[in-house]
Amino acid sequence: MRVTAAEIATALNGSVVGDGAVEVTGINSLNEAQPGDISFLANPKYVPALATTKASVVLVAAQMPEASKMVQIVVGSPDFAFAQVMMFYGPKPTQLKPGIHPTAVIGEGVHLGQFVAIGPHAVIGDRVTIGDGSVIHAQVAVCEDAVIGSGCVLFPQVVVREACRLGDRVILHPGVVVGSDGFGYATIDGVHYKNPQIGIVVIEDDVEIGSNTAIDRARIGKTRIGRGTKIDNLVQIAHNVEIGEHCIVVAQAGIAGSTRLGHHVMLGGQCGIIGHIQIGDFAMVTAQSGVGKTVPPKAVMRGSPAQQVDVSRAQDVAVRRLRGTQDQVARLQERLAQLEARLSAIEAQGGKP
């Protein structure tokens, strides 16, 4: 990588503050940067790092006096701009070349598009369809009748179960399981009998799913992940869940069966969502919250059981003040007892209160 600050600014539609001829040879964080590196400032709490960083160029949302010793590139979103810099100028991940590795197992009636890559020991079941340019890495299992769209990337040890469908440009990170059986049993006389899970999972275009996330197939019908949704590692999505477009689901969240999320919903880490409810469009649930009832659109929920964030915070404040409130009540009770004793003494002497 060898590019000038001015060239980067042009690529980002940003403006240069300082010497645009300064060369950039690397990409790094503010704390780790060395001379020649470009970095970024997206969070105000890292402003003090501008005084000590060795970076030559920094991406900022507005000109920063604290960064006067280096070249600044002013952009609308430094975080997004930094991602673009990495994409434009950073090292490119190694991808499989189109073709089928000799150790891969390909079933009967498989339809492969153009420029498909299938890695070592991958298993492609009967009647599978894989679209143009998709990459199937080592030890991936795509089971019978599954459909993989164009431009998808399935990293090692991904499993796509029978008849499940992926749209275009879907990314599944290592260990993702799509279409495992939903958790459903009928209990008769203390014995748990398995309910057949005969539905599928449909993952729409431009979805990315993190490592070791499990998405259960529907009992009947479809479990659906909407277009553009991004799911973190270690997330559990149960049978017949429907997630709308462009949602964010963060690590270790769990969504129980038949719950529906609208579009642009955000679930923080370790959220628990009960089954058979709805989460409205643009709603947000903060980390470690437990949601037990339907959430209206644009609501911000917090706590367990989850409540509107202003109510939850007020309760937290009340709890923190509880010791002082108890002490105040104790003093008032003591004062009341003293007054009652004086009143009783006056009445005993025949006086009036």
The pTM of the full predicted model, rounded to 2 decimals, is 0.87
CA distance linking residue 23 with residue 207, whole number of Å: 36
pLDDT for 347 equals 82
Active site residue 101: no
pLDDT for 352 equals 63
Q: What residue type is 152 in one-letter code? A: C
Domain ranges for the chain, please list them: 3-89, 99-310, 322-353
Residue 284 CB-half CA count within 13 A? 4
Average pLDDT of 186-206? 97
Q: Which residue of the set 239, 263, 264, 276 is catalytic?
A: 239
Summarised one tens digit per residue, pLDDT across range 145-179 is: 999 999 999 999 999 999 999 999 999 999 999 99
pLDDT at residue 350 above 80?
Answer: no
Average pLDDT of 117-143? 98
Which secondary-structure segment (H or E) carries 225?
strand 222-225
pLDDT for 53 equals 95
Residue corresponding to tokens 């495992």: 180
In sequence order, which residues have a C-beta less than 8 Å from that of residue 93 and are 6 or more positions away?
A: none
Phi, psi angles (nearest 5°) of residue 135: -120, 120
By the 8 A CB rule, do 24 and 16 touch? no
Which secondary-structure segment (H or E) carries 236?
strand 236-237
Summarised one tens digit per residue, pLDDT across range 87-123 is: 999 888 778 999 999 999 999 999 999 999 999 999 9
pLDDT for 353 equals 58
Q: State percent of the chain over pLDDT 90.
A: 88
Summarised one tens digit per residue, pLDDT across range 260-277 is: 999 999 999 999 999 999
Q: Which fold has domain 3-89?
A: 3.40.1390
3-89 shares its CATH topology with 99-310: no
CA distance linking residue 101 with residue 122, whole number of Å: 8
Summarised one tens digit per residue, pLDDT across range 40-49 is: 999 999 999 9
pLDDT at residue 330 above 90?
Answer: yes
Tell me which CATH homologous superfamily contains domain 99-310.
Answer: Hexapeptide repeat proteins (2.160.10.10)
CA distance linking residue 124 with residue 329, whole number of Å: 71
Average pLDDT of 318-336? 91
